[in-house]
Amino acid sequence: MDLISISALIAAVAFVILVVFISRTLFRLERVFRGVESTIAETQKDLHNVCVEAVQLVHTSNHLANEAKIFVNNSNELTKDMRERAKSLDVLAKSVEEVGVTISEMNEKVRDTANNVSNTVKVSTEKMSQVVNWGNTAMDLWEKYKTKREGKKKNGKSNINDSTV
């Protein structure tokens, strides 16, 4: 064998070894690409599911936002209504306060009138007591006068102008 055949044989063996290593590498690379392909397919499915859920979440968020707007509007209307009612209660409270003041003033006037009547009754009672005392004194004097006069008539003296009365 000559040198060219040996070198061709070495080149052929080297080529076969190179082909074996390259084909092993290509088979491994094919397995990696298949794994990547299945991973990408799963990722696409997951991404599709995430997109569907995101769309549902956006719809739910929009629905909640609309409900929140309705709630805020209702709250604003309720607050407005409460303010109007509070204003009407203020008017009612002022009216009640004015009635209270009027009743207080009326009570004061009734108290003053009662005191005046009481004082007048006291004065009148004192005057009536004096009148009754003077009346009793006058009656006593009349009884004494009458008794003396009757006693003198019995004794024969009928002088009405008796100064011993």
* Amino acid in the structure at residue 13: V
Report if pTM > 0.75: no
**Residue located via tokens 């070198």:** 7
Q: Are 152 and 162 in contact (CB under 8 A)?
A: yes
Considering only 18-22, 30-34, 53-57, 151-155, which range has the smallest mean pLDDT?
Answer: 151-155
Give the C-alpha separation, 29 to 55, whole Å: 38
**pLDDT per residue over 115-147, tens digit each?**
888 888 888 888 888 888 998 998 899 888 888
Rounded CA gap, 93 and 96, in Å?
A: 5
Contact predicate 162/148, CB 8 Å = yes
Tally the residues of the chain: 165
Contact 146, 165 (CB under 8 A): no
Task: Considering only the C-alpha atoms of the chain, give the largest distance between any 2 of them, rounded to a whole number of Å.
Answer: 217
The pLDDT of residue 50: 94
pLDDT at residue 163 in the model: 52
Sign of CA dihedral 120, 126, 129, 134: negative
Give the 3-state secondary structure of residue 53: helix
- What CA–CA distance (Å, rounded) separates 154 from 110? 63
Q: Is the per-residue pLDDT at 153 higher than 80? A: no
Residue 160 DSSP class: T
Contacts within 8 Å (CB) and 24+ apart, 118-122: none
Q: Is 18 exposed, middle or buried (0-12, 13-18, 19+ CB in 10 A)?
A: exposed
Check residue 156 and give left, alpha or beta (phi > 0: left; psi -120 to 50: alpha).
left
What digits encode the pLDDT tens for the residues 32-83? 999 999 999 999 999 999 999 999 999 999 999 999 999 999 999 999 999 9
* pLDDT value at 165 more than 50: no
Tell me the CB-side half-sphere exposure of residue 9, using CA atoms within 13 A.
6
